[in-house]
Amino acid sequence: MRRIGVVVNPIAGMGGRVGLKGTDGKVAEARSRGAEQRAPDRARSALQSLAEVGADVELLTYGDPMGAGIARDAGFDPTIVGSPADSEETSSEDTRDAIRAFVDADVDAILFVGGDGTAVDVATTLTELDADVPILGVPAGVKVYSSVFGVSPRAAGRIIARFSETERAEVNDIDEDAFRGGEVVTELRAVATVPVADQRQSAKQLGGGSVESLAESVADAVEPGVTYVLGPGSTVGAIKAQLGFDGTTLGVDVWRDGEVLLRDGAESDILDTLGDRNVIVVSPIGGQGFVFGRGNQQLSPAVIRQCDLEVVASRRKLDGVGTLRVDTGDPELDAELRGWIRVRVGRHERRLVEVV
């Protein structure tokens, strides 16, 4: 029997759809903007997947809202090893306390639900305890740069049930204040033991290659009356520059007929600007291949369903990712988006790439 510790950061990812690019120190602001929790649903999906595998597991978890109720919803009868100091306002120290309790209970693996900040809390606590326990993340944060996460919640559930080998992987985090200001400042915070699995995501690569001709080709192809929803990243940033404005490097901007309708918009703002015909322009994350669900949660299922999709990438970036991925939080939409798509890679060239 495998003993698995499960801890949920219930506020992870709340800042994404409301345009905050992170939740660290911004929970109150996220709530004031109407943010809703997404981590519990993603935790539930992971644990349902784990249950479906039918593996012989014993679940240990933390008190609500950090796992107990969600585990029961998924059909488990978990052992509760502790509870947060304040169930209304959980903290990183609650996550750390949960990890300490899991180590004391001699778990075989830890499944955590959150983003890079949660991964740092988990991995650094294990390092302090000198405990070599395999960990795996269920991606629920706004930014998921580390290579310790499953590619989706359901993949994470399957991996934690079945893995037989482990390896070492990086835990990275970024400065959220710099990120909100349009600058990516990453830092290696820990190295953790993780399951070996094809469905574990790679670390994000920051370099994407030359994009000048690609940006020019997209700008030349814009159509009158069409609303363009322009995602984050340097590749799409070059397109914004070709359209004649200084875009938000790490946010979503909306442009139509030579006018910037919205800068750094949240989901609700983007929905308000959409017209009769809309096109989302996005570039996959280098090294990971995610088109939706990593760093662009403002592009929610509600937004995506009202838009055509234009995926752009340099040849070097595509060579580095192989296939593309989506993790919108809506399984039906993910299924609709999967399959072969044509990715614009140059002025006159498109490449057929599979979304898996």
Q: Is the distance from CB of 170 to CB of 195 less than 8 angstroms?
A: no
Q: Pinpoint the alpha helices (H) of the chain.
A: 27-32, 39-53, 68-73, 92-104, 116-129, 153-162, 176-180, 212-220, 234-242, 267-273, 301-304, 315-321, 331-337
- Of the candidates 105, 34, 43, the one whose C-alpha atom is nearest the C-alpha of residue 74 is 43
CATH level 3 topology of 2-195: Rossmann fold (3.40.50)
DSSP state of 349: -
Torsion of CA 206, 208, 209, 212, to 10 degrees: -120
> In the prediction, which pLDDT does 219 show?
92
In order of 43, 63, 279, 286, 293, the CA distances from 329 in angstroms are: 11, 24, 20, 21, 7
Q: At what angle do helices 116-129 and 92-104 cross, to 10 degrees?
A: 40
> In the prediction, which pLDDT does 206 show?
47
Pairing of strands 259-262, 290-292: unpaired
Q: What is the largest CA-CA distance in the chain?
A: 63
> In the prediction, which pLDDT does 69 show?
96
State pTM to two decimals: 0.66
> In the prediction, which pLDDT does 306 show?
97
Other Cβ atoms within 10 Å of 168 Cβ, number:
11
Per-residue confidence in pLDDT tens, the chain, 356 aa: 999 999 999 988 665 554 455 555 555 554 556 546 688 999 999 999 999 998 899 999 999 999 999 999 999 999 999 999 998 889 999 999 999 999 999 999 999 999 998 999 999 999 999 999 999 999 997 767 788 999 999 999 999 999 999 999 889 886 655 555 555 556 778 889 999 998 898 765 544 445 788 898 899 999 999 999 999 998 999 999 999 999 988 899 999 999 999 999 999 999 999 999 999 999 998 878 999 998 899 999 999 999 999 999 988 888 888 899 999 999 999 999 999 998 998 877 788 889 99
Q: Is the distance from CB of 51 to CB of 283 less than 8 angstroms?
A: no
Domain boundaries, the chain: 2-195, 212-355
Instruction: Return phi, psi of residue 95, to 5°.
Output: -60, -45
> In the prediction, which pLDDT does 347 show?
73
